[in-house]
């Protein structure tokens, strides 16, 4: 039991260091990647998956050493004593899947429980780390959409020609604005502050209706 506790402390420390360094390296490379924003999120997911894979292999190696080299504990069930069985059991334990077809016996039981707890914490850490680029991506998309809307409205309101009444005739469906600022020819629009409201349709509106 003492050997399992000591091995658990060492493995937890190693997996935390590996996970932190992989995510730190991914976050440092992420801003300089010449790829679209969506691909950056996928890159973060693959980096987290790489860290988890290394940690699963590390625990599988510890199980192999405990059973095959040190003779501390064994495995029951559908366990043939080959390497991929240890790797399979480590992956099932790390993800807290726990199918039960392979089960530990002896000192490796404590190591198994610590791997399940360690995997739960590190998977949650990866989920929170992956969420941050998604939030940044959403903000950038919202900022881009907000900047594109005024530009589109400005392009749709380019003046075509000026009439004798001082009105600017624009494309069909866009407001006809007087030469002086603050007056709009939209029906039912508010008058300019400090000026009396015009009775009836403005010259711009009449001209816009009469113009082809």
Q: Is 95 helix (H, G, I), strand (E, B) or coil?
A: coil
The CATH number linked to 91 is 1.10.287.70
Residues 146 and 186 in one domain: no
pLDDT-derived band at 29 (thresholds 50, 70, 90) equals confident
Q: How far apart are CA 114 and CA 118, in angstroms?
A: 6
List the domain range (segments joined by +) for residue 206.
Answer: 158-212
Q: How far apart are CA 40 and CA 23, in angstroms?
A: 13
Q: How many domains does the chain have?
A: 2
Phi (first) and psi of residue 183, to 5 degrees: -100, 125
Residues 32 and 87 in one domain: yes
Residues 136 and 164 in one domain: no
The model scores a pTM over 0.85: no
**Which residues have a Cβ under 8 Å from the Cβ of 122 and sit 6 or more positions away?**
15, 16, 19, 51, 52, 55
pLDDT at 185: 42
Residues 36 and 77 in one domain: yes
pLDDT at 5 over 60: yes
Residues 147 and 162 in one domain: no
Residues 101 and 81 in one domain: yes
Residues 164 and 145 in one domain: no
Residues 177 and 83 in one domain: no
Residues 24 and 120 in one domain: yes
Q: How far apart are CA 139 and CA 4, in angstroms?
A: 47
Choosing from 107, 130, 153, the residue where a domain stops is 153
pLDDT at 187: 47
């Amino acid at each position: 039991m003492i050997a399992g506790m000591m091995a658990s402390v060492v493995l937890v420390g190693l997996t935390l260091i590996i996970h932190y360094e992989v995510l730190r390296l991914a976050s440092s490379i992420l801003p300089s990647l010449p790829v679209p924003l969506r691909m950056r999120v996928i890159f973060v997911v693959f980096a987290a998956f790489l860290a988890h894979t290394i940690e699963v292999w590390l625990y599988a190696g510890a199980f192999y050493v405990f059973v095959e080299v040190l003779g501390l504990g064994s495995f029951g069930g559908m366990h043939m004593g080959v390497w991929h069985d240890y790797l399979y059991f480590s992956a099932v334990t790390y993800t807290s899947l726990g199918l039960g077809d392979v089960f530990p016996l002896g000192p490796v039981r404590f190591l198994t429980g610590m791997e399940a707890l360690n995997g739960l914490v590190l998977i949650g850490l990866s989920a929170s780390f992956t969420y941050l680029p998604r939030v940044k991506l959403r903000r950038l998309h919202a900022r881009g959409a907000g900047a594109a809307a005024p530009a589109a409205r400005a392009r749709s309101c380019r003046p075509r020609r000026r009439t004798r009444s001082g009105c600017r005739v624009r494309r069909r469906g866009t407001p006809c604005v007087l030469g002086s600022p603050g007056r709009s020819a939209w029906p039912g629009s508010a008058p300019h502050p400090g000026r009396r409201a015009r009775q009836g349709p403005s010259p711009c509106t009449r001209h816009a209706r009469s113009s082809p």
